[in-house]
Structure 1
């Protein structure tokens, strides 16, 4: 602040005389200056509103005897002109008044500092000036209005002026109306937490003058308050004295003239990005009264936001509680990512917060759109209240994935309104979890290692197919025994899952849970128009592992747009406890009914595994399922020759494993351009089915015929002439664990584009010449063969077919567990050969018969792995090289080999030698050989 020295009239003369006297008597100019300085001090004036000035302060400040009309705001005064008397002299000075801002000015303003001679001063009067130096008001203080200026000190002096009494207030939004009966037709389609901005009008209860404050920002926060829960008995483990509440407060405090007020109207807004939209506007309110006092802050003046129990989302939440109570919710026990172990739903909160529960998803208006009860252990009958949730899109009473892989519903899983890509991914979840299997997993470690090392070949992804299922078939995770037909009211439903439940087919959506219930009574008038055919959005249905089903529930046959149906693991249908006493007719009849219904032409995915299905429906019914692309009939009781779908039904994925199928008809099915895998493993199939076509431009990933009886009929691999056989358009073909005696030349003669073939565990004693090539010319796609598994046969030699001229891209070959007495050198001239195995060669009596090391094998250009263990290799005269860096010589008791040339690589961990410590291995002490 600026300091000003004001000396007028006699005061100036007195000071001058004093100064001259000092110069004569003192002698030292510094001493004179110091003496002069001690004769001055400072005063600062503080201006306050008279309304907020305390009695004690008023006494010190004095009271104005003459006042003009009161100012509206204290900040209107920009300067003070003050007249004082000192030692009979009159002094007048104009000083600037300061405050940090206009709001702070209400609490008082300070003048610049004024430098005066020491002594006593009396205030004669003062005027307040505005920013144009116009007088606002003049004030005459009391008779004793004095102050003292002390040497080198600062004196403060309070002044008062009349200004409008004004205080600050903050607003708190509260929920109103939820406990009262709503007016008919009243609809609230916003959430309390949606409120982001509010305009509030308050009215002075005395003057009736309204004041509107606009654009107050609102912050929503969830808290709790101490509130004894009367819903539970004292001994209930969920009793909680704290109640969850939602609060909303305005971020800013606003000034109001002093007085008593109440909120009389408001308008609330929602913000989405930069867009602001009106949620609601209410008038003629009579909120709780609140007082505003001068220069004081009143916190949390209440704004009663009118909510209604008639709001659709509130009705949803009340229905949720009814469902929770009907299904023994107090004893639910759920563990989730955001919930502690043993959690259940919590209704110890304000009713408009009841929708915030595990397994429940809400839309932007608070409506329930997803409800998953998987993993809670629900028990009882699903009540009619389920029909209230009319915005519900996903409904699950259990699923195939409750325990093994985490919750199937929610973030990262099944959610409402999924894109086509997301929906297709979730439809494949069961397939990926329990069906997907790469037949190359049955190949030897040598071959699998070679495949996975090759960047040009698809890696072998280990599957879950052989692992235990999520729930063992017939065991349950819940005890839901009835589902109200009010589900039919849910016209927006997209996914419906029922699983791991003891429910019966006749108790699924066929009747009211209680026809006298409040919900049943309110729905009855409209229920006459309910029909499953109106649920056109319901495309995905699962009725899985329900052991008490003796037939499929009726609603499945009436759905108009169902695309996925999972009815796996329902052993009760046609089981020993079923209505047909294991005859196997019911499930076939249900499938026929499904295929003949309108929905049969819409089905794309049908999971039918782990049931008691004994035969397919007739061709006339199956041929109607023109969109069926994925069929799973794994682990059923299918017997004999299958019925055909016809070429018009084109599959992408087909799994028929673990049945007793003997024959696949030639017109069995067609295949799409996206066909992936077909599996016929673990059946009684006697011939390679002639259902493929090697000439197709679409090549399948894999076909699995392992563990069948192919070749048992006079050594025939096919049941037709070579001219009629069409070959197989697949990259990987598995024929392992069959009864094949003759190499399946038919496959290559018809141009099958096979790159990997598994012929292990068969009965072949030789592979004659011209098995992979004709006498003249070639089989056009034989050159594609890169991986061959011939383990566990009775082979004694390889023909010239295995030379590079026929198989130029052969990379991995395993001949282990055969009868070779001489190392087959035919494949070694292939420039691509990387791994070859010839372990455990025995004759008919079990004698070791392979004794000679394949001299020159280290010069093969690409060979990096040789497995020649479990034989009787003797003296090795060849010098090893680091290029062949994986060598298995284990269990050759008479071997003698020098590894000096690769010892440094062995020490560096760059050479893998598989050996016995008792073998005669020389040249590297790093091997710890026992001498």
Structure 2
């Protein structure tokens, strides 16, 4: 039946109803007073709770009440048949199953009998014919009457799926169709098939998104286990099922890529009941098995914790909360979530870091279960609050391995900063956005007074902790099962009581990085290190006891390293503070050695003929007893890839003639500070270097041959504290002398500069520092260079220690490139000269007799655009704010 027929009938009915109304004699329209409204509400019969006569459906039952969008109601009004079509509405499709409301129908007051009703879908197709359970209704004047209609609809309820862990057969070996062992938290989607036990109908919900959560187990807490943790996985979506009794017959689990993990056609029994318009939680149980390798890993963790006095652990460090310990008051599959433990995606242990927990005892054999482990830290240098970028957990293991050399350099430069240049020279480079290792401390915010003492000696900014003999953990031994860790790449043992290494460590076929650091009870050099096949980085620092108890063994051990199984792959070798007296000749075999750090030893003997073809990028031999560097054909080692060569605090008397100006590559830093060097060799081969540092030696005369006659290339020279008295003419006549950009000559005894110290030879000179010398008259010559950015002539003293510089550099304001002028600690008197605002770093402090007119710069100083270093006791005129 089409709705337009019903509409015609309704129109005729309305006309008849209109005749029943009328107007009063006094002209008042009483028709509205004779009308009321009725609204029909439709409900599912199965959930309709009113006790009325059951209706009868003349069509099959509806699947969903929400399918109906219109209702036609047939009414009997005193023998007159009426029919009206009304629209139906609900908040949404789900809410419709709880009932629909029609639009309001306006009728004359009186009693009506509902004869029948019909439902239509959104396409006006007839869905359903029904008879009312209640057929009498009364319309009151001006009121609203509601009347319920019930519809035979399939009873349905909502279900929410929760996955629980089933450990009822935990000790049994996993069975079923499992693509691989997986952890409960890997389940990101699931298929769930349920069966109606009354009709045997099957319903499958596919790829339900699951959300994993750890929470407290209320049942265990009720049994007295306070704080016990468990986990579950829930699907937030509400699913629809016909009402009835059900059971779960199968499930399929999937990972984040929707790759099937497991199909289980015989899950643990889980029955549930679905009631109409009620929400039921389906609890599907996912079987866990003790035999899974990741669970076995977690039992191994607990065994390690128990063997190493775990109950008394208390973390002291920066990575976790102070006092943190491991917690096993939770389901075994959660035991891997512990401080210091990182897991692979499959739940296997990937990284174990026990540093800072104060563990003690013998490592148990259970460590051999952790066969997927990549990193093992049994103490690190970080135990003493050192930051090591190679151990930054925010960096992936692959990146740490790939950037091993860069990480080494970052660590070394942070804890062992290079010899620094003076602040004026550093400022000059900063003005040109140049940063080098010799300016790094300034970039970190240190001041010149914090870096140098009053004699120009560099202070130990970050003194290394004297760790020898100090213990941070009580590890006594490693078991032979350590050899099972075939995938282990990083092994750190530090600040420990361990006495020896097991021979089975030779089986660590993937181990590339090994640190054996400050283990004072290990009295003999562990020869097994030479047998390990893949060592790329080896750190055996802070083990002086080897030289004390077994010096021959130490020498033999180092010799064995050079002849060992890793000789073709070893790139980084650290052996600091071990009282080593010689670098063995076998080190000439380490063809891939990129960094050699043997500082703070007693090395006086180097390999005969040098390192041969070994071509490191970094050599650090500071604080030793080296008097010379042996060579073969003038080479100590190839320099093509050299970046840093440092041998400070040794016994060198002549600059090592191991470099050359004939190459193509420029070394970044060469540092022979704090030796006893008096001169360059007579047959000096030249050098190509960015920063050459010869601070605090005994070079009385500037080495003319450095830049003249050898085609050397040097950008920054630091010759501080040599007692230098002379710079010969012709010292800056070399082909590449123009490359000189910074010259630090502080703390010497210079009284004048050579006549040819001119812009013609030094056109790109950015910074010159002649502070703490003996100039009685101002040295104007560097000002000839238009590129000069910062010039310092502080603290000039004569041979008697008296202030000797009184001359203000008249006309210096005309130098348009100058940005810094440092004239502090002299005896400057009245300044009769213009002050340029462009020289916005000006130091006139500690000139007690100065008279300084600040009118030219006052406004810039007041606005923070000018840095004037002065004393408030000085006579500063025309800028009163400076003295306030």
- Does TM, normalized by the shorter one, top 0.5? yes
CA contact (8 A) 2:486 2:507 kept: no
Match 1:539 to one of 512, 537, 543: 512
The DSSP-based 3-state class of the residue aligned with 2:160 is strand
The DSSP-based 3-state class of the residue aligned with 1:818 is coil
Match 1:444 to one of 403, 410, 422: 422
Per-residue Cα deviation, 1:517-575 (whole angstroms, up to 9, x for no partner): xxxxxxxxxxxxxx73562x321221122222223434422222211111122222213
Partner of 1:800: 755
Per-residue Cα deviation, 1:8-28 (whole angstroms, up to 9, x for no partner): 999988974x65xx66xx435
Measured on the aligned residues, the alpha-carbon RMSD in Å equals 3.9
Equivalent positions of 1:89-100 (< 5 A) are 89=79, 91=81, 93=83, 95=85, 98=88, 100=90
Partner of 1:278: 260
Q: Shift of the alpha carbon at 1:389?
A: 1.8
Unaligned 5+ runs, structure 2: 445-459
Per-residue Cα deviation, 1:19-51 (whole angstroms, up to 9, x for no partner): 5xx66xx4355x2x42x3333334344343333
1:317 and 2:298 correspond: yes
1:741 and 2:708 correspond: no
The DSSP-based 3-state class of the residue aligned with 1:256 is strand
Match 2:764 to one of 809, 814, 827: 809
CA distance in 1, matches of 2:163, 2:369: 29
Equivalent positions of 1:457-536 (< 5 A) are 458=436, 460-462=439-441, 466-469=461-464, 472-504=467-499, 506=500, 508-510=501-503, 532=506, 535=509
CA distance in 1, matches of 2:861, 2:46: 96
Partner of 1:655: 620
CA contact (8 A) 1:394 1:415 kept: no
Match 1:392 to one of 341, 355, 373: 373
Equivalent positions of 1:189-200 (< 5 A) are 189-200=181-192
Partner of 2:272: 290
1:41 and 2:36 correspond: yes
The 3 A distance-change label for structure 1 pair 915 and 163 is: closer
CA contact (8 A) 1:403 1:471 kept: no
Q: Shift of the alpha carbon at 1:795?
A: 3.3
Partner of 2:195: 203
CA distance in 2, matches of 1:134, 1:228: 56
Equivalent positions of 1:775-924 (< 5 A) are 778-853=733-808, 857-860=812-815, 862-872=817-827, 878=833, 880-882=835-837, 886-892=841-847, 914=869
CA distance in 2, matches of 1:159, 1:388: 69
The 3 A distance-change label for structure 1 pair 613 and 124 is: same
1:151 and 2:141 correspond: yes
> Structure 1 stretch 389-398 or stretch 910-919: which is displaced more?
910-919
CA distance in 2, matches of 1:923, 1:332: 68
The DSSP-based 3-state class of the residue aligned with 2:230 is strand
Per-residue Cα deviation, 1:614-653 (whole angstroms, up to 9, x for no partner): 11112xx121011111111111111356645434111211
CA distance in 2, matches of 1:113, 1:918: 95
Per-residue Cα deviation, 1:73-114 (whole angstroms, up to 9, x for no partner): 556777766665544x26363645735466545434445554
The DSSP-based 3-state class of the residue aligned with 1:345 is coil
Partner of 1:732: 691
The DSSP-based 3-state class of the residue aligned with 2:662 is coil
CA contact (8 A) 1:394 1:495 kept: yes
Partner of 2:363: 382
CA distance in 2, matches of 1:106, 1:792: 93
CA distance in 2, matches of 1:324, 1:46: 67
Q: Shift of the alpha carbon at 1:927?
A: 5.5
Q: Shift of the alpha carbon at 1:406?
A: 5.3
The DSSP-based 3-state class of the residue aligned with 1:460 is helix
1:118 and 2:109 correspond: yes
Unaligned 5+ runs, structure 1: 235-239, 512-530
1:561 and 2:534 correspond: yes
1:589 and 2:556 correspond: yes
CA contact (8 A) 2:583 2:606 kept: no
CA contact (8 A) 2:527 2:557 kept: no
Aligned positions, number:
857
CA distance in 1, matches of 2:96, 2:273: 21
TM value normalised by structure 1: 0.82
Equivalent positions of 1:612-761 (< 5 A) are 612-618=579-585, 621-639=586-604, 643-667=608-632, 669-711=636-678, 717-718=680-681, 721-722=682-683, 725-748=684-707, 749-761=709-721
Partner of 2:456: none
Partner of 1:212: 204
CA distance in 2, matches of 1:876, 1:166: 99
Computing the radius of gyration from Cα coordinates, the structure with the larger value is 1
Q: Shift of the alpha carbon at 1:461?
A: 0.7
Partner of 1:430: 411
Match 1:265 to one of 247, 250, 274: 250
Partner of 2:447: none
CA contact (8 A) 1:485 1:509 kept: yes
Match 1:107 to one of 98, 104, 109: 98
Q: Shift of the alpha carbon at 1:263?
A: 0.9
The 3 A distance-change label for structure 1 pair 383 and 27 is: same
The DSSP-based 3-state class of the residue aligned with 2:259 is strand
CA distance in 2, matches of 1:729, 1:893: 44
CA distance in 2, matches of 1:65, 1:638: 107
CA distance in 2, matches of 1:158, 1:568: 89
CA contact (8 A) 2:132 2:150 kept: no
Equivalent positions of 1:126-205 (< 5 A) are 139=131, 145-177=135-167, 180-183=170-173, 189-205=181-197
The 3 A distance-change label for structure 1 pair 324 and 13 is: closer
Q: Shift of the alpha carbon at 1:189?
A: 2.5
Q: Shift of the alpha carbon at 1:326?
A: 2.2
Match 1:255 to one of 233, 237, 240: 240
CA contact (8 A) 1:557 1:599 kept: yes
The DSSP-based 3-state class of the residue aligned with 1:586 is helix
The DSSP-based 3-state class of the residue aligned with 2:367 is helix
Q: Shift of the alpha carbon at 1:597?
A: 0.9
CA distance in 1, matches of 2:147, 2:321: 64
CA distance in 1, matches of 2:793, 2:571: 46
CA distance in 2, matches of 1:592, 1:656: 18
> Structure 1 stretch 629-638 or stretch 325-334: which is displaced more?
325-334
> Structure 1 stretch 248-257 or stretch 182-191: which is displaced more?
182-191
CA contact (8 A) 1:850 1:872 kept: yes
CA contact (8 A) 1:645 1:669 kept: yes
Q: Shift of the alpha carbon at 1:202?
A: 1.7
The 3 A distance-change label for structure 1 pair 637 and 762 is: same
CA contact (8 A) 2:718 2:744 kept: yes
Partner of 1:548: 521
The DSSP-based 3-state class of the residue aligned with 1:557 is helix
Q: Shift of the alpha carbon at 1:613?
A: 0.9
CA contact (8 A) 2:130 2:151 kept: no
Per-residue Cα deviation, 1:264-283 (whole angstroms, up to 9, x for no partner): 112223343xxx32222111
The DSSP-based 3-state class of the residue aligned with 1:449 is helix
The DSSP-based 3-state class of the residue aligned with 1:262 is strand
CA contact (8 A) 1:551 1:590 kept: no
> Structure 1 stretch 255-264 or stretch 807-816: which is displaced more?
807-816
